[in-house]
Amino acid sequence: MAVASSDTAIRSSKVTRTFIYLFLLLFALFYLMPLGIMLVNSLKPLSEITAGGMIAMPNEWTIEPWLSAWSTAQIGVEPTGLRPYFINSIAMAVPAVAISTVAGALNGYVLTKWHFRGATWIFGLLLFSCFIPFQIVLIPMARILGLLEIAGTTYGLILVHVVYGIGFSTLYFRNYYAAFPTELVRAAQIDGAGFFQIFWRIMLPSSGPIIAVCCIWQFTNIWNDFLFGASFASGDAAPMTVALNNLVNSSTGERPYNVHFAGAIMAAAPTLLVYIVAGRYFVRGLMAGSVKG
């Protein structure tokens, strides 16, 4: 986002400004409402929700729904709660983020500083591959995972996320390194530095911000993915999003809404935390992933 060029503010009367503030506050409320409702209802007994008090504060506060969602709720066959699936998601996201980021950094470095014929073509193909609808690869991917005997496992999901994460991570580093002075690379070369030495000593030390952006983007996407998780890792290996959907959409009898809300917050917590801690990089990632293609 561009920095502090002064606002394109217009002259406006008191009435207009009041209206503007009202409008903005109303929308702030609209955006906060679902999170607020989830939070409030995850802390009240079920009877209070079914009695029709979804928006009211709890009369009786309880953390029971949270405990249930975490360790005893029925998901699929077993009453295991969401905990094992939360662990699945971490076991899937951490390596997938790490691998795709490293690959993206190296690719970006090659594509900007070691030009060769066809590099632009490769970049164009990578660029388009970021935006395909994943439905087009579901069937062959299922076949390949089956052939590799990692269908239905976390390893399979790691592979899938690395494969389809490389496009974006390469884009980020490529755009970032494109602005990096090539003279520095050349000078180092003349001094006898090799390919990896240049990468390690010159490129990486100045790559902090883009590494942050890339990791946050990949983590958010991978953690929030549902399509791949639902297609390739049902059952015990399911990630958090799939488990949450099973919890919410397959419970029979009286629905434990409060447990659903607690579970939803758990599924949202990691990316929400990242957003709160590193919102600046999150926004930069969003913008780079869209505006710059």
Partner 1 sequence: MAATDPMLDSGADFRTRLQAWLPKIVLAPSFAVMVIFVYGFIAFTLYLSFTDSRMLPSYDLVGWQNYERLFRVRQWDTAIINLGIFAGLYIVISTIIGLLLAIFLDQKIRGEGLLRPIFLYPMALSFIVTGTAWKWILDPAIGLETTMHRWGFENFQFDWIKDSDMAIYTIVIAAVWQSSGFVMAMFLAGLRGIDNEILKAAQMDGASNFQMYRRIILPQLRPAFLSAFVILSHLAIKSYDLVVAMTDGGPGTSTWLPALFMYEYTFTRNQMGIGASSAVIMLMTIAAIMVPYLYAELKEQK
Residues 198-227 that bind partner 1 (CB under 8 A): 220, 223-227
Of 72 and 245, nearer to partner 1 (C-beta) is: 245
Tell me, by CB under 8 A, how many residues bind partner 1. Answer: 113
d(CA 57, CA 54): 8
For the bound state, the minimum distance from the C-beta of residue 275 to partner 1, rounded and expressed in Å, comes to 4
Q: Give residue 69's Cα distance to chain centre.
A: 22
Binding track, positions 132-171, relative to partner 1; x by CB under 8 A: xxxxxxxxxx-xx------------------xx-xx--x-
For the bound state, the minimum distance from the C-beta of residue 80 to partner 1, rounded and expressed in Å, comes to 18
d(CA 222, CA 99): 13
Tokens of 276: 């709160």
Select from 90, 98, 212, 268 the one that contacts partner 1 (CB under 8 A): 268
For the bound state, the minimum distance from the C-beta of residue 211 to partner 1, rounded and expressed in Å, comes to 17
- CB under 8 A: which stretch of 24-32, 64-72, 79-87, 202-210 binds partner 1? 24-32
Of 60 and 131, nearer to partner 1 (C-beta) is: 131
Identify residue 173 by its one-letter amino acid code. F
98 binds partner 1 (CB under 8 A): no
Residue 224 to residues 30, 118, 239, 269: CA-CA distances in angstroms?
22, 34, 9, 11
Of 41 and 154, nearer to partner 1 (C-beta) is: 41
d(CA 2, CA 12): 24
For the bound state, the minimum distance from the C-beta of residue 75 to partner 1, rounded and expressed in Å, comes to 13
Which residues in the 100-119 window bind partner 1 by CB under 8 A? 103, 106-107, 110-111, 113-116
Which residues in the 31-90 window bind partner 1 by CB under 8 A? 31-35, 37-38, 41, 49-50, 52-56
- CB under 8 A: which stretch of 57-65, 80-88, 207-215, 271-279 binds partner 1? 271-279
Of 64 and 285, nearer to partner 1 (C-beta) is: 285
d(CA 216, CA 94): 11
For the bound state, the minimum distance from the C-beta of residue 102 to partner 1, rounded and expressed in Å, comes to 11
277 binds partner 1 (CB under 8 A): no
d(CA 156, CA 146): 9
Residue 65 to residues 36, 37, 45, 52, 172: CA-CA distances in angstroms?
16, 14, 8, 18, 41
Question: Bridge-partner residues for 75, per DSSP?
Answer: 78
- CB under 8 A: which stretch of 67-75, 79-87, 122-130, 202-210 binds partner 1? 122-130
d(CA 263, CA 80): 13
Identify residue 103 by its one-letter amino acid code. A
Select from 2, 15, 77, 147 the one that contacts partner 1 (CB under 8 A): 2
59 phi, psi to nearest 5 deg: -75, -35
Residue 125 to residues 106, 135, 172, 186: CA-CA distances in angstroms?
17, 18, 15, 28
Select from 150, 157, 158, 185 the one that contacts partner 1 (CB under 8 A): 185
| Distance between first and last Cα of the chain | 15
